[in-house]
C-alpha cells in the first residue's frame, strides 16, 4: 500500500449554490502553498461526469487521499468511496469538508470573506489527511457453537432455528426439562403457559435435538474473546470454573413479573393477582375453584398501555382455561377502554360460547372496589355500573429484567436505560456504516412485548448468527480495525474496559495479572471515549487520532483571526443541527469554525488545551443531549467531565473559564444550534483574545502538560460514568467532595508543570524558579523533593545553601 | 465517447451517463425534485422532462434516467417541454398544495390550483421519496417507507409506529426539500 500521501482536492460549485457565495478561485489561490497534488473546481463532482473527472485525476496523478469540499458527508459518505473504489481509493481515504452547509448557506458576508473561511477549513482537513495511516482489515474465524445465555424464552426459538439450519448451539437454561420450562414460564409471560399448545412442542424439540446442548445455567465468571471466538467461564457449585467456547453469543433476557400489592385492596383470599391465579391453575385441582364469579380487573395504568394490553391477553387466556377446566367459575375481564382489545374475531366468538364477559371501562374514572362489587364507568353510556365478584384478580406488575441480567451486564455491551429497559450499545456507524449485527440481544428485558414477538426476536437473532457464519464460510467475515492498543504503552489498568460502552475492548479473566488490552473491532462503535480516557495514551482510534486532530486545529488556527472561535460538533446532534440550520435558511456568525468529530466523547482533553496553546480565543462544543440522545451511551457525559477539568485548569491559570463552553442540541433542532452559537459569540465579543505574552504562554503550556499526566488522566477517568451506571454523576452523593479531590490533584500537577516549564533547560535554585513563576517560594518548595524523587527533575548540586535543580532524570 | 447536442451546444459524454448529468455539468439547469447526487435516479417527479430528437422523431422523456446516445438532439425548454412540465406541476400542485418547492415552481410557470386540488392537506410533503431512499441507500437501514396508495400515500415508518431500525441520524431531515420530514421524524424516531 502506498503510504506517501498524495492529496487531491475537489471543490464543488454545486450548480452555483456554493460558487455564488464563496469565491472558489480565491480559495484555490489561498491554498496554493499547501501540500497537495491536485486542486480543481468542478460544477458537480457527485454526478457521473464529475466522478469520471475525479477518476481521471486519481489515475493520472496517483492520488491516494481525496478531499471533496462540497456538501454534507452524512449524505455523500457512500457516493464517493463507492464510485472511486474502481480506481483503488479506499473508503477511509475519502474525506469531505462541508462548504455548503457550514459556510455558503449560513453566513452573510462577501464571497472573498467566505473564501478565507473555506480555505482555512480545507487546510485543516489537509493536515488531517497527511497523517492518515494505511489500514488492513483482519479476517476472522467463525467456528464452534453459538452460545445462548440469559435463559430467556427467545433463546429456545433461536436454538431451534440454528439447529434447523445445521448449526450447533449450547443453550443455558435454569429449567432442565420441557415441562419445567413451561411451568416457570408464567413468571415472565403470564397467561402463556396454559394456552400456547405449540410452545410445548418447541421446548420438547429443543431438548431432544442432537445439535442443541442444554446446560444448567450457572453463574458467569467471565466472558472473554471476540466475535468468532468467545470463551465463557461458568462457576460451578464447588467453585470450579468450566470454560465453554463458542463463535457467537445470543443474549436472551426477559423481564420478570412481580406480584401486585393486593394487601392494599384487602379482601384476603378473595383478592389475588394474575401470578397467584396461574400458580393455582398449575398446581391446584378442581376443588380449589369454588363456583362463583371471577373478575379480572386490568388496573395499573402507570405501567403503560403495552403492559395493560399484555395483562388483558393474559386475563383472557386464563379465563378461557378456567372455562374449560373449571366451568363452575364464571369469568369477566374488565379492561380499560384506551387499550385496543388484542383479540381476534374467533376469540370473541369463543368468549360468547363460554360465557366469558369482556367489558371495557372508561379509564378517566378509576373503578372502585367494594366488597363483592366493583363499580366502573361504561364508556358507551357514561353511566356508572356495578359488577359482582366472588374472586377479584388484578394484573401483575411488569418488574425488572431477570436477575441474570446484572451478571451479564458486567461483561456484555448492554446497559440499562432510564426506565429499566436494557439496551444494547448502538449499531456501528463508523467506519463500516451499515449496522453490522454481531451482538444479539433478545427478550422482553429490552422492551415489554408479548411472547410471539419475543420468539420472533429469537429467530431473528439466530438468523443473524447464521448470516455471520455464511459470511465466514465465504471468507468475507473481516474485523475492521477501529481501535488499536499499543501493547508497549498499555499498563493493563482496565480503565478502558470499564468505560467502553460497546464492549469493544477485550475483557480479561478476573484474578489474572494486569494484561495489555485488545480491541474487538467487530463490536467497536468508534465512540473513542476509551482513547480519550487512557491514562497512558495507549489506545487510539485508527485514522481518527488525537494527533490528527491536533494537526488539524493547528492548521486551522493558523488561518483564523484572533477574535474567531473554534467549534467542535459531534457527528450526530451537533453536526446534524448545524447542517439543518443551512437547509432551513438560518444564518449565524461567521466567526465560528466547525470541526466535526464522531462523538464529543472522543475528544481528548489535551486537544482543548492544545487549541488554546495554538492561539484559539475560545472553544464551543455542541453535542447530543446527555440524558437520552447520545449515540455512544455516555460520550457527551464524559466530554462534560473533561471540559470541566480544562475549565478548572483555566481558572488555576488565571484565565476566563467561559472561554470553553459546552452545548447540547438535538438532531432536529437547528434553531437551538443557532442560538447556542450566537449566545457564545456575543459573550466572546466582550473578551479580548488570549494574551500572547510569555507568561500566559507558559501557563497554557503547563495546562497542556498537566493533561498529559497519567495521574490526572487516571483521576479524570475514574470519575467518568460507566455504561452500567444509571445515575448522572452530577447527582452523586458527594459531588462537591469528589470535585475538590479533582481540584487538589489538578492544583498540584499544574504547579509541577509550571515548575518544569520555568526550569526549561536551565539550572536553577528554588528562589530562581519562583522568580520566573512569580510565585512565593514557599508554594513551590514542598513540591520539589517529590518531583525529584519521581525523576521529573534532578538535584544537580548545592550552592549557597540552596539546591540546584534541572529537568530530567539524573 | 458519445457526442450529441443540448440546446444546440455540442457536448460529449460516456456510456451510461444521463442527459441530466451532462446538462448540469455544462451549466444547463433542468428543474428536478426527486434527483439527488448521492442517490440512484428514481424518476418519480417527471419534472426533468426534455425533448429528445434522434433524427427520426421527437419525444419528451425524463432526463434523469434517459441514457445519452450519439447524435441525439436535446432541447430543454421548447414550448412542448414547457407545456408538459406545466401539466406535471399542475398535477403535483393538486397533489401536494402545501409544498413550498412546488408552490415556487407553480409560480414561476404560472400554474394555479385546479378544481381537483386535494383538500384539507396541511402537510408540506410532496412524496419525492428522497428520505426513504437516503435511509436505505446511504444510512443502510429501512426505518422509513411509503405507505398506502393513491391519494392516501404518505411517508411513514412500517406499521406507523416508532421504528426500532431508526438510528436518529437525521439524514432524512437534512435531505427533505420541504421541511415536512421534521414532523415525520418525531413519529418515526419515537
Q: Which residues of B touch A426 (CB under 8 A)?
A: 167
Say if the Cβ atoms of A579 and B174 lie within 8 Å. yes
Check whether A628 has a pLDDT greater than 80. no
Please report the pLDDT score of residue A90 as a whole number.
86
Grid coordinates given for A557? 488556527
Residues A533-558, mean pLDDT to the nearest whole number: 92
> Within a domain: residue B98?
no
Please report the pLDDT score of residue A755 as a whole number.
94
pLDDT tens digits, A340-386? 887 888 888 988 999 899 999 998 888 998 888 999 999 989 899 99
Check whether A77 has a pLDDT greater than 90. no
Q: Kindly report the three-state secondary structure assignment for every residue of A138-157.
A: EECCCCCCEEEECCCCHHHH
> Within a domain: residue B95?
no
- Which residues lie below 8 Å from residue B79, measured CB to CB, with a gap of 6+? none
Please report the pLDDT score of residue A195 as a whole number.
62
- CA dihedral of B120, B126, B127, B130, whole degrees rounded to 10: -150
* Measured distance CA(A26)–CA(A4) in Å, rounded: 28
In A, minimum Cα distance to B182 occurs at A668
Number of Cβ pairs closer than 8 Å across A and B?
93
Mean pLDDT of chain A: 88
* Measured distance CA(A425)–CA(B174) in Å, rounded: 25
Say if the Cβ atoms of B27 and A49 lie within 8 Å. no
| Interface contact A579, partner B, CB < 8 A | yes
Q: Which residues of A touch B20 (CB under 8 A)?
A: 47
* Measured distance CA(A573)–CA(A663) in Å, rounded: 10
* Measured distance CA(A719)–CA(A322) in Å, rounded: 56
Q: Are A125 and A464 in contact (CB under 8 A)?
A: no
Say if the Cβ atoms of B25 and A580 lie within 8 Å. no
* Measured distance CA(B98)–CA(B122) in Å, rounded: 6
Residues A332-339, mean pLDDT to the nearest whole number: 91
Name the residue with higher pLDDT: A65 or B116: A65
Residues A765-782, mean pLDDT to the nearest whole number: 91
pLDDT tens digits, A1-21? 446 889 999 999 998 899 999
Q: Hunting for cell 535554585 — which residue is that?
A: A765
Residues A26-52, mean pLDDT to the nearest whole number: 94
Say if the Cβ atoms of A576 and B36 lie within 8 Å. no
| Interface contact A419, partner B, CB < 8 A | no
Name the residue with higher pLDDT: B100 or A417: B100
pLDDT tens digits, B28-56? 999 999 999 999 999 999 999 999 999 89
Q: Are A182 and A305 in contact (CB under 8 A)?
A: no
* Of the listed ranges A26-40, A158-172, A518-532, A739-753, the one predicted with least confidence: A518-532
Q: Which residues of A touch B173 (CB under 8 A)?
A: 576, 580, 583, 667-668
| Interface contact A15, partner B, CB < 8 A | yes
The boundaries of the domain holding residue B174 are 130-189
Choose from B133, B141, B168, B178 for mutation: most chain A CBs within 10 A: B168
Phi, psi of A442 (to 5 degrees): -130, 170
Please give the tally of structural domains in chain B.
Answer: 2
> Within a domain: residue B178?
yes
Mean pLDDT of chain B: 90
Name the residue with higher pLDDT: A509 or A639: A639
Q: Which residue, of B32, B47, B76, is where some domain finishes?
A: B76
Q: Hunting for cell 468529530 — which residue is that?
A: A597
Q: Which residues of A touch B22 (CB under 8 A)?
A: 49
Say if the Cβ atoms of B24 and A667 lie within 8 Å. no
- Which residues lie below 8 Å from residue A502, measured CB to CB, with a gap of 6+? A413, A425, A426, A523, A524, A525, A527, A632, A633
pLDDT band at A433 (very low <50, low <70, confident <90, very high): very low
Alpha-helical regions (H) of A586-709: 605-613, 635-652, 670-685, 694-707
Grid coordinates given for B177? 426539500
Please report the pLDDT score of residue B158 as a whole number.
85
- Which residues lie below 8 Å from residue A438, measured CB to CB, with a gap of 6+? A227, A248, A464, A468, A522, A523
Check whether A93 has a pLDDT greater than 80. yes
pLDDT band at A432 (very low <50, low <70, confident <90, very high): very low
Say if the Cβ atoms of A77 and B36 lie within 8 Å. no
Grid coordinates given for A708? 498529559
Angle at A94 between CA A92 and CA A95, to 5 degrees: 110
Residues A79-96, mean pLDDT to the nearest whole number: 91
* Measured distance CA(A315)–CA(A312) in Å, rounded: 5
* Of the listed ranges A642-646, B2-6, B186-190, the one predicted with least confidence: B186-190
Q: Which residues of A touch B139 (CB under 8 A)?
A: 433
Q: What domains, with CATH codes, occur in chain A?
A: 1-136 (3.40.50), 146-256+401-478 (3.50.50.60), 260-395 (3.50.50.60), 481-544 (3.30.70.20), 545-755 (no CATH), 760-810 (1.10.10)
* Of the listed ranges A59-68, A177-186, A423-432, A466-475, the one predicted with least confidence: A423-432
| Interface contact A763, partner B, CB < 8 A | no
Please report the pLDDT score of residue A733 as a whole number.
60
- Please state, as a whole number, how many other Cβ atoms lie within 10 Å of the Cβ of residue A396: 27
In DSSP notation, A418-451 reads TTS-EEEPPPP-SSS-S----SEEESGGGS---H
Buried b (16+ CB within 10 A) or exposed e, A403-440: ebbebbbebbbbbbeeeeebebbbbbbbbbbeebbbbb
Residues B8-21, mean pLDDT to the nearest whole number: 94
Say if the Cβ atoms of A667 and B22 lie within 8 Å. no
Strands B145-147 vs B154-156: parallel, antiparallel or unpaired: antiparallel
* Of the listed ranges A421-435, A547-561, A577-591, the one predicted with least confidence: A421-435
Closest Cα of chain A to B116: distance in Å? 31
* Measured distance CA(A462)–CA(A212) in Å, rounded: 13
* Measured distance CA(B145)–CA(A761) in Å, rounded: 67
* Measured distance CA(B173)–CA(A438) in Å, rounded: 29
Give me the numbers of helices (H) and strands (E) for chain B, helices first please: 6, 7
Q: Hunting for cell 426539500 — which residue is that?
A: B177
Q: Compute the half-sphere exposure of residue A532: CA atoms within 13 Å on the CB side of its CA.
A: 31
> Within a domain: residue B105?
no
* Measured distance CA(B22)–CA(B16) in Å, rounded: 11
Predicted-complex ipTM score: 0.93
Choose from B13, B20, B25 for mutation: most chain A CBs within 10 A: B25
Say if the Cβ atoms of A433 and B140 lie within 8 Å. yes
Choose from A49, A585, A629 for mutation: most chain B CBs within 10 A: A49
Q: Which residue, of B76, B101, B117, is where some domain finishes?
A: B76
Say if the Cβ atoms of A75 and B175 lie within 8 Å. yes
> Within a domain: residue B164?
yes
Residues A182-193, mean pLDDT to the nearest whole number: 84
* Measured distance CA(A472)–CA(A495) in Å, rounded: 32
pLDDT tens digits, B160-172? 888 877 888 899 9
- CA dihedral of A598, A604, A610, A612, whole degrees rounded to 10: 80
Closest Cα of chain A to B166: distance in Å? 10
Q: Which residues of A touch B176 (CB under 8 A)?
A: 583
| Interface contact A79, partner B, CB < 8 A | yes
Choose from A47, A304, A436 for mutation: most chain B CBs within 10 A: A47
pLDDT band at B20 (very low <50, low <70, confident <90, very high): very high
Q: Which residues of B touch A75 (CB under 8 A)?
A: 36, 38, 134, 138, 171, 174-175
> Within a domain: residue B90?
no
Say if the Cβ atoms of A74 and B174 lie within 8 Å. yes
Say if the Cβ atoms of B167 and A631 lie within 8 Å. yes
> Within a domain: residue B116?
no
In B, minimum Cα distance to A426 occurs at B167
Report percent pLDDT > 70 for chain A. 95
Say if the Cβ atoms of B174 and A77 lie within 8 Å. no
Closest Cα of chain A to B133: distance in Å? 11
Q: Which residue, of B76, B109, B142, is where some domain finishes?
A: B76
Question: Residue A549, preceding bond cis, omega within 30 degrees?
Answer: no
* Measured distance CA(A781)–CA(A792) in Å, rounded: 15
Q: Are B28 and B5 in contact (CB under 8 A)?
A: no
Grid coordinates given for B117? 386540488
CATH number, position B22: 3.10.20.740
* Of the listed ranges A259-268, A666-675, A727-736, the one predicted with least confidence: A727-736
Q: Are B14 and B2 in contact (CB under 8 A)?
A: yes
Interface of A with B in 370-399 (CB under 8 A): none
* Measured distance CA(A715)–CA(A796) in Å, rounded: 32
Q: Which residues of B touch A50 (CB under 8 A)?
A: 25
> Within a domain: residue B69?
yes
Please report the pLDDT score of residue A324 as a whole number.
87
Intra-chain end-to-end CA distance of chain B, in Å:
51
Cα–Cα distances (Å) from A327 to A41, A271, A348, A613, in that order, read 84, 20, 18, 83
Amino acid at each position: 500500500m502506498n503510504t506517501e500521501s498524495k492529496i487531491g482536492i475537489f471543490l464543488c460549485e454545486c450548480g452555483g449554490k456554493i460558487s455564488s457565495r464563496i469565491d472558489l478561485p480565491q480559495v484555490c489561490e489561498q491554498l496554493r502553498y499547501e501540500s497537495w497534488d491536485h486542486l480543481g473546481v468542478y460544477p458537480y463532482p457527485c454526478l457521473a461526469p464529475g466522478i469520471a473527472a475525479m477518476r481521471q485525476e486519481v489515475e493520472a496523478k496517483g492520488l491516494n487521499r481525496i478531499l471533496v469540499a462540497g456538501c454534507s458527508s452524512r449524505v455523500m459518505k457512500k457516493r464517493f468511496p463507492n464510485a472511486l473504489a474502481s480506481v483503488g481509493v479506499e473508503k477511509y481515504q475519502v474525506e469531505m469538508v462541508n462548504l455548503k452547509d457550514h459556510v455558503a448557506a449560513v453566513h452573510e458576508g462577501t464571497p472573498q470573506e467566505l473564501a478565507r473561511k473555506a480555505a482555512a477549513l480545507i487546510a485543516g482537513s489537509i493536515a488531517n489527511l497527511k497523517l492518515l495511516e494505511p489500514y488492513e482489515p483482519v479476517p476472522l474465524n467463525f467456528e464452534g457453537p453459538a452460545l445462548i445465555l440469559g435463559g430467556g424464552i427467545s433463546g429456545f426459538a433461536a436454538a431451534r432455528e440454528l439447529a434447523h439450519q445445521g448449526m450447533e448451539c449450547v443453550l443455558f437454561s435454569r429449567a432442565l426439562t420441557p415441562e419445567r420450562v413451561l411451568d416457570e414460564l408464567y413468571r415472565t409471560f403470564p397467561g402463556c403457559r396454559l394456552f400456547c399448545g405449540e410452545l410445548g412442542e418447541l421446548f420438547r424439540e429443543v431438548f431432544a435435538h442432537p445439535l442443541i446442548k442444554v446446560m444448567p445455567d450457572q453463574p458467569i465468571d467471565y466472558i472473554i474473546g471476540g466475535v468468532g471466538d468467545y470463551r465463557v467461564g461458568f462457576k460451578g457449585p464447588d467453585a470450579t470454573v468450566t470454560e465453554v467456547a463458542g463463535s457467537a453469543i445470543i443474549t436472551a433476557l426477559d423481564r420478570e413479573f412481580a406480584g401486585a400489592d393486593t394487601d392494599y385492596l384487602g379482601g384476603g383470599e378473595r383478592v389475588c393477582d394474575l401470578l397467584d391465579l396461574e400458580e393455582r391453575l398449575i398446581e391446584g385441582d378442581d376443588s380449589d375453584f369454588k363456583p362463583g364469579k371471577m373478575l379480572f380487573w386490568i388496573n395499573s395504568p402507570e405501567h403503560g398501555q403495552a403492559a395493560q394490553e399484555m395483562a388483558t391477553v393474559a386475563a383472557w387466556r386464563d379465563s378461557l382455561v378456567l372455562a374449560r377446566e373449571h366451568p363452575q367459575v364464571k369469568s369477566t375481564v374488565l379492561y380499560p377502554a384506551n387499550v385496543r382489545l388484542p383479540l381476534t374475531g374467533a376469540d370473541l366468538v369463543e368468549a360468547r360460547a363460554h360465557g366469558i364477559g369482556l367489558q371495557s371501562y372508561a379509564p378517566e374514572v378509576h373503578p372502585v372496589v367494594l366488597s363483592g362489587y366493583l363499580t366502573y364507568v361504561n364508556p358507551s353510556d357514561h353511566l356508572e355500573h356495578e359488577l359482582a365478584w366472588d374472586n377479584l384478580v388484578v394484573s401483575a406488575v411488569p418488574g425488572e429484567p431477570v436477575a441474570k441480567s446484572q451478571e451479564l451486564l458486567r461483561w456484555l455491551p448492554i446497559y440499562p436505560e432510564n426506565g429499566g429497559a436494557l439496551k444494547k450499545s448502538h449499531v456501528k456507524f463508523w467506519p463500516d456504516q451499515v449496522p453490522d449485527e454481531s451482538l444479539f440481544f433478545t427478550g422482553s428485558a429490552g422492551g415489554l412485548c408479548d411472547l410471539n414477538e419475543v420468539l420472533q426476536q429469537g429467530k431473528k437473532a439466530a438468523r443473524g448468527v447464521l448470516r455471520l457464519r455464511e459470511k465466514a464460510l465465504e471468507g468475507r467475515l473481516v474485523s475492521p480495525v477501529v481501535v488499536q492498543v499499543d501493547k508497549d504503552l498499555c499498563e493493563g489498568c482496565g480503565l478502558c474496559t470499564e468505560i467502553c460502552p460497546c464492549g469493544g475492548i477485550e475483557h480479561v479473566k478476573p484474578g489474572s495479572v494486569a494484561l495489555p488490552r485488545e480491541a474487538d473491532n467487530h463490536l467497536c462503535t468508534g465512540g473513542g471515549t476509551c482513547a480519550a480516557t487512557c491514562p497512558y495514551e495507549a489506545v487510539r482510534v485508527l485514522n481518527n487520532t488525537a494527533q490528527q486532530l491536533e494537526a488539524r486545529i493547528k492548521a486551522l488556527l493558523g488561518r483564523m483571526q484572533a477574535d474567531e472561535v473554534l467549534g467542535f460538533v459531534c457527528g450526530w446532534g451537533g453536526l446534524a443541527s448545524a447542517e439543518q440550520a443551512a437547509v432551513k435558511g438560518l444564518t449565524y456568525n461567521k466567526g465560528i469554525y466547525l470541526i466535526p468529530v464522531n462523538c464529543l466523547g472522543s475528544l481528548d482533553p489535551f486537544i482543548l488545551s492544545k487549541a488554546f496553546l495554538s492561539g484559539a480565543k475560545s472553544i464551543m462544543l455542541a453535542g447530543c443531549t446527555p440524558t437520552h440522545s447520545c449515540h455512544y451511551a455516555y460520550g457527551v457525559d464524559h466530554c462534560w467531565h473533561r471540559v470541566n477539568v480544562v475549565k478548572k485548569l483555566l481558572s488555576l491559570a488565571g484565565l476566563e473559564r467561559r472561554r470553553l463552553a459546552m452545548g447540547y442540541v438535538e438532531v432536529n433542532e437547528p434553531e437551538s444550534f443557532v442560538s447556542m452559537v450566537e449566545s457564545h459569540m456575543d459573550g466572546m465579543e466582550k473578551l479580548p483574545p488570549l494574551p500572547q505574552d510569555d507568561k500566559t504562554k507558559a501557563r497554557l503550556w503547563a495546562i497542556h502538560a498537566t493533561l498529559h499526566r497519567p495521574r490526572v488522566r487516571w483521576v479524570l477517568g475514574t470519575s467518568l460514568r460507566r455504561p452500567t451506571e444509571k445515575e448522572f454523576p452530577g447527582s452523586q452523593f458527594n459531588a462537591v467532595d469528589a470535585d475538590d479531590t479533582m481540584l487538589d490533584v489538578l492544583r498540584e500537577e499544574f504547579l509541577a508543570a509550571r515548575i518544569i516549564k520555568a526550569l526549561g533547560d536551565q539550572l536553577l535554585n528554588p528562589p530562581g524558579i519562583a522568580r520566573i513563576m512569580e510565585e512565593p517560594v514557599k508554594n513551590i518548595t514542598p513540591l520539589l523533593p517529590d518531583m525529584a524523587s519521581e525523576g521529573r527533575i534532578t538535584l544537580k548540586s548545592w550552592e549557597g545553601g540552596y539546591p540546584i535543580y534541572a529537568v530530567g532524570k539524573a | 465517447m458519445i457526442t450529441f447536442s443540448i440546446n444546440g451546444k455540442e457536448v460529449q459524454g460516456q456510456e451510461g451517463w444521463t442527459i441530466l448529468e451532462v446538462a448540469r455539468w455544462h451549466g444547463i439547469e433542468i428543474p428536478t425534485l426527486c434527483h439527488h447526487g448521492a442517490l440512484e435516479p428514481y424518476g418519480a417527479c417527471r419534472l426533468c422532462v426534455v425533448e429528445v430528437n434522434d433524427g427520426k422523431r421527437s419525444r419528451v422523456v425524463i432526463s434523469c434516467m434517459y441514457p445519452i446516445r450519439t447524435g441525439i438532439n436535446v432541447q430543454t425548454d421548447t414550448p412542448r417541454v414547457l407545456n408538459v412540465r406545466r401539466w406535471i406541476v399542475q398535477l403535483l400542485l393538486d397533489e401536494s398544495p402545501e409544498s413550498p418547492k412546488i408552490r415556487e415552481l407553480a409560480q414561476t410557470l404560472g400554474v394555479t390550483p385546479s378544481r381537483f386540488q386535494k383538500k384539507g392537506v396541511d402537510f408540506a410533503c410532496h412524496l419525492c421519496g428522497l428520505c426513504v431512499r437516503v435511509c436505505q441507500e446511504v444510512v443502510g437501514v429501512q426505518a422509513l417507507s411509503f405507505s398506502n396508495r393513491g391519494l392516501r400515500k404518505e411517508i411513514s415508518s412500517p406499521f406507523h409506529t416508532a421504528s426500532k431500525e431508526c438510528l436518529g441520524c437525521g439524514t432524512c431531515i437534512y435531505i427533505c426539500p420541504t421541511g415536512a420530514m421534521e414532523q415525520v421524524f418525531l413519529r418515526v424516531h419515537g
